[in-house]
């Protein structure tokens, strides 16, 4: 195979125009809706999962924090469906792009932090200086806490990008090894192919877990600032 290892991470184009926007808009079509009074099993299961996820994330929030519930549930559904979409053959995963993940992380983080400074400025400033800090360490701790606050959205974006990219690269390498071994040694090919199937199942789980892992810290940031 002469295909570049990172070819699947290149943003696709159609007639020279970027197609990433169309790909990003596609996952909502995977969420079915019902116009009937009685839902089928698929929609009932979907609604049960949404309620379970919403309850899990919003239980610790007060009334003000729960106004973000629609945004956070939409975020976790969007990331999960986008990650799963990227596991299909000849598809593109937008969440492997650091720029897109930063575009999701920075506004959400900034909104939570600004809300904290507007509603609870004393508590927000108290995070920069833990209680009982020795006087000589105060300037250093303020700088460290400020840096740790500013890198939070970067940590969110890099974590999601690294986990999704690493899984796709590993699947690409094992798939290439399976194809190369198919003409050399059949028993070894079956073993590698079994590993590839197990890895694909693992990547499906990772795609869902990473959506939750991305959204949960945003929920925690919101809880600390409301």
What is the model's pTM? 0.77
CA nearest 174: which of 154, 201, 197, 144?
197
Helices 186-224 and 69-85, axial angle in degrees (round to 10):
170
| Matching residue, tokens 């959400």 | 108
Model confidence at 90, in pLDDT bands (50, 70, 90)?
A: confident
Q: Which carries the bigger pLDDT value, residue 89 or residue 107?
A: 107
Candidate from 26-35, 43-52, 74-83, 112-121 with smallest mean pLDDT: 26-35
Q: Average of pLDDT values for 7-25?
A: 65
Question: For position 16, what pLDDT does the model report?
Answer: 63
Q: Check: CB of residue 65 under 8 Å from CB of residue 226.
A: yes
Model confidence at 60, in pLDDT bands (50, 70, 90)?
A: confident
| Matching residue, tokens 């833990």 | 130
The DSSP annotation for 49-62 comes to HHHHHHHHHHTT--
Euclidean distance between CA atoms 155 and 105, whole angstroms: 9
Please say if the pLDDT value at position 137 is more than 70. Answer: yes
Question: For position 2, what pLDDT does the model report?
Answer: 45
The DSSP annotation for the chain comes to ----TTGGGSPPEETTEE-HHHHHHSGGGGS----SSS--HHHHHHHHHHHHHHHHHHTT--TTGGGGHHHHHHHHHHHHHHHHHTTSTT---GGG-HHHHHHHHHHHHHHHHHHHHHH-HHHHHHTTS-TT--GGGHHHHHHHHHHHHHTHHHHHHHHHHHHHHHHHHHHHHHHHHHHHHTTT-HHHHHHHHHHHHHHHHHHHHHHHHHHHHHHHHHHHHHHHT-
Model confidence at 98, in pLDDT bands (50, 70, 90)?
A: confident
């Amino acid at each position: 195979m002469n295909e570049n290892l990172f070819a699947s991470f290149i943003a696709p184009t159609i007639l020279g125009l970027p197609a990433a926007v169309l790909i990003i808009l596609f996952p909502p079509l995977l969420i079915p809706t019902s116009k009937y009074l009685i839902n089928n099993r698929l929609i009932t299961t979907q609604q049960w999962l949404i309620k379970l996820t919403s309850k899990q994330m919003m239980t610790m929030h007060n009334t003000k924090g729960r106004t973000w519930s629609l945004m956070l549930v939409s975020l976790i559904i969007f990331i999960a469906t986008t990650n799963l979409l990227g596991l299909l053959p000849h598809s593109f995963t937008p969440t492997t792009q650091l720029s897109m993940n930063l575009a999701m992380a920075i506004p959400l983080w900034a909104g939570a932090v600004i809300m904290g400074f507007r509603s609870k400025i004393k508590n927000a400033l108290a995070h920069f200086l833990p209680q009982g800090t020795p006087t000589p360490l105060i300037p250093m701790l303020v700088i460290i806490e400020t840096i740790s606050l500013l890198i939070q959205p970067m940590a969110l974006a890099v974590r999601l990008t690294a986990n999704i990219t690493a899984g796709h690269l590993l699947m690409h390498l094992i798939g290439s090894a399976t194809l190369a071994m198919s003409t050399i040694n059949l028993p070894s090919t079956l073993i590698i192919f079994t590993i590839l199937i197990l890895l694909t199942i693992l990547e499906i789980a990772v795609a869902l877990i990473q959506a939750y892992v991305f959204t949960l810290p945003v929920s925690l940031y919101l809880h600390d600032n409301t």
